[in-house]
């Protein structure tokens, strides 16, 4: 079925360390993979996305990698800061025609000063 | 650019009552989505509109949930009658088109007593 698995569910790091969140998806036709950051009481905010014709994309301290063969994609945050603390969701497009996003279960990232 | 607007921010009702949520998408965005986010989970798509037509409502509990987007801009989501398991945050998102980045509002937090 349509499924996105996300790990870990919680991640604690020290300020300045790197953080990595991993997701796997089930639909081999998936071609769009966004990442969202959700702060308490707010809606998800798009932070970076990647399409299936690209293996890696970087935006300042944030990067995403995609391995289509393994149906696996990851979010990398370098030089973490306390304001990076939030819940992060991965998602994958699924279905044909009007594709929909299926979200992972989320990773709570805590960056300690 | 103004973001996705949702109201109300909070709603508390008793089971079996009805409730309605309103969403105003980003100007020019043809695609509008309603998601349900249960505490501790990722958003789950309920319904997707392309202009004023429904393109996916496969996960909408149609015996109690309804949604409309009459003029292809604003949208309302209604629950009647509400059940305890409907307690969640209802998020609206919009995108320029299908398979384009989705931008979320801050949601309506619904509590059922």
Q: Work out the average pLDDT over B5-31.
A: 97
Strands B19-24 and B75-79: antiparallel
| % residues pLDDT > 70 (chain B) | 99
Residue B90, pLDDT score: 98
Asked if A103 and B101 come within 8 Å (Cβ–Cβ), the reply is no
pLDDT tier at B11 (50, 70, 90 boundaries)? very high
Q: What are phi and psi of A107, to 5 degrees?
A: -130, 120
Q: Work out the average pLDDT over B31-49.
A: 96
Q: Which residues of chain A have pLDDT under 50?
A: none
CB contacts < 8 A (A, B)? 53
- Residue appearing with tokens 């300020």: A15
Torsional class of A95: left (φ above 0), alpha (ψ -120 to 50), beta (otherwise)? left
Q: Indicate the range of A30-34, A80-84, B19-23, B76-80 predicted with least confidence.
A: A30-34
Q: Is B55 on the interface with A (CB under 8 A)?
A: yes
Q: Are B102 and A46 in contact (CB under 8 A)?
A: yes
Burial of A11 (0-12, 13-18, 19+ CB in 10 A): middle
Q: Is B107 on the interface with A (CB under 8 A)?
A: yes
Which residues in chain A (8-37) have CB-CB distances under 8 A to chain B? 31-32, 34, 36
CA angle, A69 then A71 then A73, to 5°: 115
Q: Work out the average pLDDT over B5-28.
A: 97
- Residue appearing with tokens 């970076």: A48
Residue A95, pLDDT score: 79
Residue B98, pLDDT score: 82
Q: Is B44 on the interface with A (CB under 8 A)?
A: yes
């Amino acid at each position: 079925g349509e499924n996105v698995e996300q790990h870990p569910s919680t991640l604690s790091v020290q300020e300045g360390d790197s953080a990595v969140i991993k997701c796997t998806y089930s639909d081999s036709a998936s071609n769009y993979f966004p990442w969202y950051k959700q702060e308490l009481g707010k809606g998800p905010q798009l932070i970076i996305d990647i399409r299936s014709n690209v293996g890696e994309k970087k935006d300042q301290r944030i990067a995403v990698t995609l391995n289509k063969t393994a149906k696996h994609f990851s979010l990398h945050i370098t030089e973490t800061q306390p304001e990076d603390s939030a819940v992060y969701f991965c998602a994958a497009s699924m279905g044909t025609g009007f594709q929909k996003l299926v979200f992972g279960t989320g990773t709570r990232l805590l960056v300690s000063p | 650019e103004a973001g996705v607007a949702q109201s109300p921010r909070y709603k508390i009702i008793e089971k079996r009552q009805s409730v309605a949520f309103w969403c105003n998408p980003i100007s020019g965005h043809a695609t509008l989505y309603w998601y349900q986010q249960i505490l501790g989970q990722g958003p789950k798509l309920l319904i997707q509109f392309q202009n004023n037509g429904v393109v996916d409502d496969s996960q909408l509990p149609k015996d109690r949930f309804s949604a409309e987007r009459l003029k292809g801009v604003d949208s309302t989501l209604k629950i009647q009658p509400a059940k305890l398991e409907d307690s969640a945050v209802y998020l609206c998102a919009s995108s320029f088109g299908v398979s384009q980045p989705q931008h979320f509002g801050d949601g309506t937090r619904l509590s059922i007593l």
